[in-house]
Structure 1
């Protein structure tokens, strides 16, 4: 048998410490910590019940760093799209396969660059969290593939032309 009041501080400290370090937490990890610190041997099912009694939940939680919808980024996207739309121009000449004589082209050539990172090993989706549901996590684990793409779109007379290039490091075994 175990004393809940005796092991509760050790459990709470461990879960908070692991979360702040960005480490995923499982009931087995908590069992091992309680065994080391408090000399109390608990089964995983028992630890799951104890964690629920202490107010922890095994959920995804809310990520700590979400920058996509900040007011600055929303304003930047709006300005960017307004400039892209302003570059559109009516181009005379038939579009292939249609009878229309006017279509959209571009005034100036548009160059698109993209650099995307993808982690080879992803972090587990669920972890034990406190009531605030904030998960402190790193961006990922293991090697990171950097995928680079570039493209250009331009109007040449009545023809909309373009070029696209994709580069993925060969060490990740992704065929092109």
Structure 2
């Protein structure tokens, strides 16, 4: 009421009023997803939404289901995440790995006075890649008369190799190369593998 005795109008915000988090709904969604994961069954957004309506009488949209699952940190199809990424042992290993990497670096000044970090000793890294035999770029030119297979139709290959990184004092540059006899290629299905050819020699032979 105002000083003159009049009523104060109640102001309303335009649009839909904000909704508070429904902890009961969260628990129901969590129960459905947990059950389907234990059974190895599918649990898409549509399935979760339909089960909420059939089993609990909750009628909400797919967008609301997705929003609620994002709020409880669920991960959907297409989002890669290793469940052991943040485990105690992996976190400790990453700290030790970074300590060793940093300890192997030393500061060097170039001729123009710039500072850069180079490895004191050669470092070896392992690389694992996956590639289809008919792997092609999304946009490409094709020569007339030559058939081109659809991407993903040919076998998927696993390529495993080791490469070394070192500082070349003579050329004053950081260099790297794949280590001969370290490249292995085999199909994703099967136990056979193909070893790379060439003489067994690498940068360490010179040290």
- TM-score of the aligned structures, taking structure 2 as reference length: 0.39
Query: Which structure would you say has the larger Rg?
Result: 2
Higher relative contact order (CA 8 A, sep 6+): 1
TM score, norm. by length of structure 1: 0.45
Higher helix share: 1
Choose between structure 1 and 2: higher strand proportion.
1
